[in-house]
Amino acid sequence: MAEEAVSSSGQRVRPSFFRGFTMADVAFVVTTVAVFALVAFIAKGVAKL
């Protein structure tokens, strides 16, 4: 019961929990993409040497 994400009326039961979880996911994805972009940039620079 307490684990339900959506009530019968379609409204979120615990919006603060889901908002925090979503922001954590967004931060993780952005950080991962940034790290891969940085690694690719460094690899391209090393390849020119």
Amino acid (one-letter) located at 20: G
Q: What is the pLDDT of residue 48?
A: 84
Domain hosting residue 3, numbered range: 1-49
Per-residue CA distances from 21 to 13, 28, 41, 42, 47 (Å): 14, 11, 30, 32, 39
How many structural domains compose the chain?
1
Mean pLDDT per 10-residue segment, the chain (49 residues): 54 60 86 97 90
Full-model pTM: 0.54
